Each structure stands twice: as structure tokens, then as C-alpha cells.
């Protein structure tokens, strides 16, 4: 049976941030007598409790800014792998000879779901299995379209395709 693992899907690298993170430096310690009291902060910089409830989720470690985007990407990648699995076929020549292996494919998909590139990035050790892995990608095209919320025009994934006889 052919298995496709979802553990090795690599999305396009993230886009650079427009605003670099703010760098906070601590001031050197000085004698209390030489430090003048600071004026109170303006009302717009009130404490978090005064501003109302936060939109961050509990346990987010203060990094809730792009949690939904990461979840959407992960969900989409899972959909791609599930779609690919529906088109698996074990070559009869390999099954008769009890040939097994893992082929690794790289697939580039455009916004509409059309495959723009598919290549073998790791051989299964047998050309019949390598050809079957690429044929599997061709049969699976078109893939589900990239969700608009991801903000990408294309995505590249790498997926291992396991051919093993049970």
C-alpha cells in the first residue's frame, strides 16, 4: 500500500516583516538619589488591564499575532496530502517483485490548484517506484486551490511517498 506522510511539507519561506521588532534596552543602574522621577505615561499607554481584554489566546506566549495564519497553512497542507493520497497506485510490476521504497517529491502549486512543477527530490531506490510517485502527482492535479487568506500565489511542498507491501 502506498502511504504519504504529512510530516515533511515545507511551505514557501515567510515574507519579511515590514516593521522590525522593537528593541528594548535596560538602562544602567544608578544611585536612587541621582534619578529624577519620570512623568506619568500618557493615557494612551495605559496598563493592559486599563485598555480592556486582550485578543491573544491563553498559552500563546505573547505571540498570537499570526496564529490563525499558521493554522490555515497547516490545514491547507493537510488537505493537499489527503488529496494526494486518493490518487495512490502501487505499480503491479513492483508489487509482483515485492519492491518497496520511499520516493520524495517536490510539488509547486499555483493559486488555482494547478501543478506548475513536480520533481523527484529523493529516489525510492527503484525507477518503477520513482515514476509511480511522479505519476501520482499528475493524476492528483489539480489540487485544492490555495485559500485567499494565506496570501500566496503559489506554494511548494515536499512529501514522502511510501510504497510498502502489507
Mind listing the pLDDT tens digit for each residue in 41-83?
554 444 444 444 444 444 444 444 455 666 688 889 889 989 9
pLDDT for position 69:
63
Which residues, 6+ apart, have CB-to-CB distance to 126 below 8 Å? 94, 99, 101
Q: Cβ of 114: how many Cβ atoms within 10 Å?
A: 13
CA–CA separation, 139 and 24 (whole Å): 53
Q: Is the pTM of this model over 0.85?
A: no
pLDDT confidence tier of residue 40, bands split at 50, 70 and 90: low
Q: Are 143 and 115 in contact (CB under 8 A)?
A: yes
CA–CA separation, 162 and 6 (whole Å): 11
In whole numbers, what is the pLDDT of the chain averaged over residues?
74
CATH number (3.40.50.1820, 3.30.1150.10, 3.40.50.2300, 3.30.70.20) of 68-163 reads: 3.30.1150.10
Domain ranges of the chain: 68-163
Mind listing the pLDDT tens digit for each residue in 90-146?
999 999 999 999 999 999 999 999 999 999 999 999 999 999 999 999 999 999 999
SS3 content of the chain, % helix, strand, coil (to 5): 30, 20, 50
Q: Are 121 and 147 in contact (CB under 8 A)?
A: no
Amino acid at each position: 500500500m502506498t502511504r504519504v506522510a504529512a510530516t515533511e511539507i515545507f511551505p514557501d519561506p515567510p515574507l519579511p516583516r515590514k516593521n522590525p521588532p522593537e528593541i528594548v534596552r535596560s538602562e544602567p543602574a544608578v544611585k536612587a538619589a541621582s534619578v529624577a522621577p519620570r512623568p506619568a505615561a500618557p493615557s494612551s499607554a495605559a496598563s493592559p488591564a486599563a485598555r480592556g481584554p486582550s485578543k491573544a489566546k491563553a498559552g500563546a506566549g505573547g505571540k498570537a499575532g499570526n496564529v490563525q495564519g499558521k493554522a490555515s497553512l497547516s490545514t491547507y497542507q493537510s488537505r493537499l496530502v489527503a488529496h494526494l493520497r486518493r490518487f495512490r497506485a502501487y505499480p503491479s510490476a513492483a508489487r509482483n517483485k515485492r519492491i518497496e521504497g520511499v520516493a520524495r517529491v517536490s510539488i509547486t502549486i499555483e493559486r488555482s490548484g494547478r501543478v506548475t512543477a513536480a520533481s523527484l527530490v529523493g529516489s525510492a531506490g527503484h525507477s518503477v517506484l520513482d515514476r509511480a510517485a511522479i505519476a501520482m502527482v499528475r493524476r492528483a492535479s489539480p489540487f485544492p486551490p490555495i485559500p485567499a487568506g494565506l496570501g500566496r500565489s503559489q506554494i511548494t511542498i515536499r512529501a514522502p511517498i511510501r510504497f510498502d507491501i502489507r
